[in-house]
Structure 1
């Protein structure tokens, strides 16, 4: 026999269930976004050229904002005060050189590979279900961590091996004071390997396509941010707690002291291997003796 108290509890549970069904979405939040993209842009999304177009266009869009800051310089004191090396601004010739190298690498290496892939690989199927928000966040962070480990090893090897450094990596260190277009001012071999890991890592982690493309765009953004030459209060490194993330200031140290701060994003691998170094804001350079040359 059911008591009056038990009846009251059942009514409360029933009302709570009705509330959840009425006021909470019955589908994952990203499902609405994914359905819109999948139903309206299916042919574009299935093309092997889409990831290339997505990352290249994102790269130049992210670069433009920081280049405006560089061009305006001291005329925008509220912005300029966040510049890491305030007495050094890129010249027009430096910017044009980086644009030329970036365009050459994409035309000679990236786009031919994408077109070849388009020729032999059929369009990829689009799943009907979108990832949950948690799945997307975990996939993006996991891909960033995996890339961070791969690039740390690759980067450190190219600095420790003189032939690798001179042949493939030295061009990226032509600039001690960084600006956004220097992000992809590098040898074609490096761009191909970075692009390979960026593409393969979400596949290894079995990420949804929407997660994969979001990771690619976010990865481009944080790469540009690392090279932008500014350390804003809203920089990713300041938003991530406990100094876990590197950021623009620490990558600026790498270009002043090339045997430090090899990891592209996070700080744990450099701390483990003893190559971590902090930027000294009061002096505008690295503390003497804080890392070996």
Structure 2
């Protein structure tokens, strides 16, 4: 289990070129770095939950079609999954959802890909696995579901790396209103904003979106205040 651990830390090391990532180097140890034990436990939970989703599909033959793929169903699953994620994420920030211990995750205002993987088991199940199980009820082909799992998991992880990936500034990425590392960095500076992991429009719909361009601390790590509107 050390291969993904060191691989993630290598990614963090290679992407520390942005000035605002110096906060990572200056921070004091907070005992929330990803360790080998948590990786093993997370892997077990992921395996059991995903296996249950596959069992549901196989038993009820909702993935009987192995020869086609529907981009409409794939996009629908992405949108519904992120919508559920926003609701669950907001609940974890409420006084009723604090027993999931999500606030400890926010001790790190500028997370790395490795340290951001810290979460309690209850938080992990609520934030990801409940959504995966519910989305499993949406019919579709085998490849629809595979594409959904791969793309959604990739975006969720990379937007938490706090690295400005080149594709996040392309017109296509912005056309689909996908969340980038800058949008999610705002959430760690202002936890009542930018709850979405995949699509910006969910935060815009709920009135929680804060544009990274209006926040100091994204490009200027010495200051974390909101610009006043002119």
Which runs of 5 or more residues in structure 2 are unaligned? none
Greater relative contact order (Cα 8 A, min sep 6): structure 1 or 2?
Answer: 2
Contact 2:74 2:144 in 1 (8 A): yes
Deviation at 1:251, TM superposition (A): 0.5
**Cα RMSD, aligned residues only:** 3.6
Contact 1:245 1:265 in 2 (8 A): yes
Per the alignment, in what secondary structure is the counterpart of residue 207 of structure 1? coil
* 1:258 matched to 2:191: yes
Counterparts in 2 of 1:1-293, with a 5 A limit? Answer: 67-72=9-14, 79-81=15-17, 83=18, 85-89=20-24, 97-99=33-35, 100-107=37-44, 109-111=45-47, 127=64, 129-132=66-69, 135=70, 137-159=71-93, 161-165=94-98, 167-193=100-126, 194-201=128-135, 203-235=136-168, 239-242=172-175, 244-280=177-213, 281-284=218-221, 287-288=225-226
Deviation at 1:165, TM superposition (A): 2.5
Alpha-carbon spacing, 1:245–1:208, altered in 2? closer, same or farther (3 Å):
same
Name whichever structure is richer in helix by fraction. Answer: 1
Paired with 2:175 and 2:134, the residues of 1 have a C-alpha distance of 29
TM-score norm. by structure 1 comes to: 0.60
Alpha-carbon spacing, 1:233–1:71, altered in 2? closer, same or farther (3 Å):
closer
Deviations 1:80-107 (A, max 9, x none): 44x372213368x779832333433444
Paired with 2:32 and 2:87, the residues of 1 have a C-alpha distance of 31
Deviation at 1:167, TM superposition (A): 3.7
Deviations 1:221-264 (A, max 9, x none): 11110111201212388641347222111101101111110111
Alpha-carbon spacing, 1:215–1:154, altered in 2? closer, same or farther (3 Å):
same
